[in-house]
Amino acid sequence: MFAGFYTVRFQLNEAVGRSVMYVHAGKLLGGNSAFAHIGSYQENGEEIDIEVKTVRHNPDPAYRAMAGTDDATLIAKGGADGDLYRFRGALKELPGAVFQSVMTPVKEEAVPIAGGVGEGGIANGLYSIHLRMLDGVEGGLTGVMLLNNGRILGGDASFYYLGTYTSENGRWKGQILNQEHTPSVGDNPILGGHEVGIGFSGSCDEEGALMEATALAGKRSLRLTAVLKLMRRA
C-alpha cells in the first residue's frame, strides 16, 4: 500500500536531489531545504500516477531550482519495487528532461504516538520551518513539517523528523527526533552524524507558529528557535 511516510531520492537528468514525502488519501505533501512539494496521486491497479508542484519556501539563492524555475509541475508514473516505490516522468516546464525517483518508507514503528490538539490549537497542514541556533553557535536548518492531529512528520535534504505535540489556546509543545537519511556532517557539522532529540514549546496561530527548543546532539546541549509558516492545510 502506497500510503505512508517516505524519504525520497530524485534525479532530473544528471542533477540529484533529496526530500521527504507524506502519502495519504490521494495527497502528496513534503519537501526539502528550499522547496515544498505538494501534489496528488491516483492508484490504477499496480500503476500509480502522480502530479507534484514545487513551491519555494527558502529564498536563499544558494538553493537553485533544478528545473530552472521555482514553479514546476511533475507528471510521473510508477509503482512498487519490493518495499520501495520508483517513478519516472517529466516536468511540464522541461518536457525533454527525464525525471526519476526512488521512495524509501520510514518504518511504521519509528513513527511516534500522536499527542492531542484542543480548541485554539495549531492547524493540521504542511509548514515550512526555518530553524537557527542561539548562544553564538553558527548554523541552522530549513525544511518542511507536516502537523497532523498531534503527530509531526517532516524533513529536508539530509534529515527526517518524527515527533509528537499537544496544542490548545494558541500554545503548543512537544518532542522531535531528528535523524539523517543522507550523510550531512560536511554540510551540517553540528547536527550531522547524530540522532538529535529536541524538546520545544511556543505560540501558534492560523498562519504558523514559533518554537523555542533545546536539542541534544551527541554530548552537546543546544538552544535554538524556529519559525513555522503554514503552506497548505491538510
Domain ranges of the chain: 4-105, 108-233
Position 48 scores a pLDDT of 98
User: pLDDT tens-digit profile of 102-143?
Assistant: 999 998 666 677 788 999 999 999 999 999 999 888 878 899
CATH, domain 108-233, list 1.10.3720.10, 2.40.128.380, 1.20.1600.10, 2.60.120.340: 2.40.128.380
Q: Do domains 4-105 and 108-233 have the same CATH topology?
A: yes
CATH fourth-level superfamily of 4-105: T3SS negative regulator GrlR (2.40.128.380)
**Which residue positions in the chain have pLDDT lower than 70?**
108-111, 184-190, 192
Position 189 scores a pLDDT of 58
What is the three-state SS of the chain? CCCEEEEEEEEECCEEEEEEEEEECCEEEEECCCEEEEEEEEEECCEEEEEEEEEECCCCCCCCCCCCCCCCEEEEEEEEECCEEEEEEEECCEEEEEEEEEEEECCHHHCCCCCCECCCCCCCEEEEEEEEECCCCCCEEEEEEEEECCEEEEECCCEEEEEEEEEECCEEEEEEEEEECCCCCCCCCCCCCCCEEEEEEEEECCCEEEEEEEEEECCEEEEEEEEEEEEEEC
Position 185 scores a pLDDT of 56
